[in-house]
């Protein structure tokens, strides 16, 4: 599977914002770009797409930056894909020929399972840093 660089960067930027969710601070573009080793010019375009999709909010000015528009657990990977690279979910298979219908049905089932998995993965899961300990009381 080919994941676009734009989609990868969007997920990484959103994971950074998810780590800061619930704090009163707004994350500056430069900080996001530096933490994720992404060009700030490219990242601002991605964040604008995410803002238009209602996944992030932005504040302009000297004290400006970005923050999540919703709880990390309420943002699915499918929503991110829809906002950044909806062609990843495009499904086009011909059902021509004697075997076409069976082959198309198999691909259709796989596409549905893929979309279900994307819906199950939330930004809260992406924001967990490997090695972080979870403590339960």
The total domain count for the chain is 1
pLDDT at residue number 80: 96
Domain assignment present for residue 79? The answer is yes
Query: Does the residue 120 lie in any domain?
Result: yes
| Residue 82 covered by a domain | yes
Structural domain contains residue 132: no
Where the chain has pLDDT below 50, the residues are 133-137
- CATH code, domain with 96: 1.10.10.10
Give me the pLDDT at residue 42, please.
Answer: 96
Tell me whether residue 136 is in a domain.
no
User: Which residue range(s) make up the domain with 82?
Assistant: 5-126
134 domain residue, yes or no = no
pLDDT value, residue 136: 45
135 lies in some domain: no
Query: Domain for residue 133, yes or no?
Result: no
> Read out DSSP for the chain?
----HHHHHHHHHHHHHHHHTTSS--B-HHHHHHHHT--HHHHHHHHHHHHHTTSEEEE-STT-EEEESS-GGG-BHHHHHHHH-GGGG-------STTHHHHHHHHHHHHHHHHHHHHH-BHHHHTPPTTPPP---
């Amino acid at each position: 599977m080919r994941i676009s660089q734009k989609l990868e960067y969007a997920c990484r930027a959103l994971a950074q914002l998810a780590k800061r969710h619930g704090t009163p601070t707004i994350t500056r573009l430069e900080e996001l770009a530096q933490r994720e080793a992404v060009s700030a010019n490219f990242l601002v375009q991605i964040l604008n797409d995410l803002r238009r999709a209602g996944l992030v909010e932005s504040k302009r000015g000297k004290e400006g930056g970005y923050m999540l528009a919703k709880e990390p657990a309420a943002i699915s990977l499918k929503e991110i894909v829809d906002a950044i690279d909806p062609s990843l979910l495009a499904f086009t298979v011909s059902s021509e020929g004697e075997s076409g219908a069976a082959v198309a049905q198999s691909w259709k089932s796989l596409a549905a399972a893929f979309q279900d998995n994307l819906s199950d993965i939330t930004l809260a899961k992406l924001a967990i840093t490997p090695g972080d300990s979870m403590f339960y009381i």
